[in-house]
């Protein structure tokens, strides 16, 4: 037996308790002093514990002790590889247009041509899907540009693809300004998830999320969300707030506004603006993991706002760039592996009409495997490896820091999680003992 390298055992001053955390099981347990001392002995000498012992069963079931750390790592890697190379699923991010009705200063697509999808390209996409003969599920992300500028294309492709694959689902990433035009058709389009960006309160949002003519968009977006949620009961709505140092104080304000207006029907999450183009025009970017972590901790300590970034859960989804059957399709039928590359000629890996022919094999290989966690011993030895998908592949290949915020302030984040949600019900032994 081995003490899991994915454990963290410590005394929390904030909780006034001994805590044992495992990123393998995503469990936190509270220990009394006797329990802490006993488990500390086991940590230093796992062979001292007998499998018939009650404590053994508790620690083994919670993945605090494991048969082998190497085996646990391999199990994680195997699950990751199975998901990446599953031929039965196809994920497509489709941009029916690169046109957009907004002029956001931090947008990395702002200087690219506004191109819309022709009927020929639409038919080519359908043929592209048909060529994936082994698929049992098809997941579509509608992207852009602004996808709601091409609702007719979304409707046509959705109707056709639903007839091709029974297990069909979709989401849309939209600025929300024309969402009302889409609402009557959402259920027929099998769109179950919607992501909309709101950058703070009305005044702050309207400074960055503005129309091409300079007009604000906050009121219209909120009205559209009201309409959406009044008509659709089973829709998952995520609100993304792009965070810079200039607008970060608005996050808590927006959170409370959305909570009051929509309750749990809407989920807000922070998206730290990354400097893709060499100039973070909307303000100072949070490109440092420690600064992101400090922001999230301050958010909780001062405002009581808890975000999912504080306590990450492994999804085994990873980045679509690393999935064999995942592509970004541009409005001219060009294929990419990363949506950051949309519209970049040198980042195309092929097109829908030459399925199976990779024109940029070097880029394909780099995105699939370069600096992959599979080969990174530092990642595999990290305590948060089971709860991390490896981060943005595009950023990693540029030698940029991509560690999740929890890596910088682990104990602080465990404390927060423990405060929000008490220790797991199977605590051994409990504090009350």
Q: List the pLDDT tens digit at each of the 433 positions of the chain.
A: 899 999 999 999 988 899 999 999 989 999 999 999 999 999 998 888 777 778 888 899 999 999 999 999 999 999 888 988 999 999 999 999 999 999 888 776 655 567 889 999 999 999 999 999 999 999 999 999 999 999 999 999 999 999 999 999 999 999 999 999 999 999 999 999 999 999 999 999 999 899 999 999 999 999 999 999 999 999 999 999 998 888 899 999 999 999 999 999 999 999 888 654 444 544 566 667 788 899 999 999 999 999 887 887 766 656 888 899 999 999 999 999 999 899 899 999 999 998 778 888 889 888 888 888 888 898 899 999 998 877 788 888 777 777 888 888 999 999 999 988 764 444 445 443 3
pLDDT value of residue 284: 66
Q: Residue 316: what pLDDT?
A: 62
In this prediction, residue 422 carries a pLDDT of 67
Q: What pLDDT score was predicted for residue 278? A: 47
Instruction: List the domain boundaries for the chain.
Output: 2-67, 88-402
* Topology at the third CATH level for domain 88-402: TIM Barrel (3.20.20)
Give the per-residue pLDDT at 389.
78
The pair phi, psi for residue 233, each rounded to 5°, is -90, -25
Residue 108: predicted pLDDT: 66
- Cβ(394)–Cβ(366) under 8 Å? no
Q: What is the pLDDT of residue 421?
A: 77
Can you give the pTM of this predicted structure?
0.90
pLDDT at 287: 64
Q: How many CB atoms lie within 10 A of CB 39?
A: 25
């Amino acid at each position: 037996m081995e003490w899991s390298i994915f454990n963290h055992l410590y005394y929390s001053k904030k909780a006034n308790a001994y805590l044992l955390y495992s990123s393998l099981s995503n469990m936190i347990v509270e220990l009394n002093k006797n329990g802490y001392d006993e488990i500390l002995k086991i940590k230093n000498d796992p062979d001292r514990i007998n499998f018939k012992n009650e404590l053994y069963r508790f620690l083994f079931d919670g993945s605090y002790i494991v048969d082998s750390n190497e085996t646990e790592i391999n199990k994680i890697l195997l699950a990751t590889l199975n998901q990446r190379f599953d031929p039965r699923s196809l994920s497509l991010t489709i941009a029916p247009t690169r046109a957009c009705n907004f002029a956001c200063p931090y947008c990395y697509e702002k200087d690219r041509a506004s191109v819309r999808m022709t009927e020929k390209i639409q038919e080519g996409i359908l043929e592209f899907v048909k060529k994936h003969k082994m698929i049992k599920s098809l997941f579509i992300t509608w992207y852009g540009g602004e996808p709601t500028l091409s609702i007719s294309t979304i409707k046509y492709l959705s109707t056709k693809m639903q007839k091709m694959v029974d297990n069909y689902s979709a989401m849309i990433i939209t600025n929300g300004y024309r969402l009302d035009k889409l609402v009557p058709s959402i259920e027929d389009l099998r769109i179950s998830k919607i992501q909309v960006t709101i950058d703070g309160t009305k005044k702050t949002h309207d400074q960055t999320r503005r129309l091409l003519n300079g007009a604000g968009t906050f009121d219209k977006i909120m009205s559209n969300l009201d309409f959406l949620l009044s008509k659709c009961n089973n829709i998952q709505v995520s609100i993304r707030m792009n965070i810079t140092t200039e607008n970060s104080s608005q996050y808590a304000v927006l959170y409370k506004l959305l909570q009051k207006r929509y309750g749990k029907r809407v989920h807000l999450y922070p998206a730290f603006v990354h400097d893709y183009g060499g100039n973070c025009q909307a303000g100072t970017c949070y490109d440092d993991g420690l600064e992101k972590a400090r922001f999230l901790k301050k958010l909780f300590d001062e405002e009581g706002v808890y975000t999912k970034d504080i306590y990450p859960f492994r999804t085994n989804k990873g980045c679509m760039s690393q999935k064999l059957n995942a592509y970004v399709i541009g409005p001219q039928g060009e294929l990419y592996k990363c949506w950051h590359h949309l519209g970049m000629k040198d980042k195309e890996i092929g097109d829908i009409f030459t399925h199976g022919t990779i024109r940029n094999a070097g880029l394909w290989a780099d995105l699939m495997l370069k600096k992959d966690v599979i080969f990174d011993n530092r990642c595999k030895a990290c305590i948060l490896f089971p709860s991390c998908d490896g981060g943005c592949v595009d950023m990693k290949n540029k030698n940029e820091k991509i560690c999740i915020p929890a890596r910088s302030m682990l104990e602080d984040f465990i404390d927060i999680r423990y405060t929000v949600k008490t220790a797991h019900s199977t605590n051994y032994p409990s504090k009350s003992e």
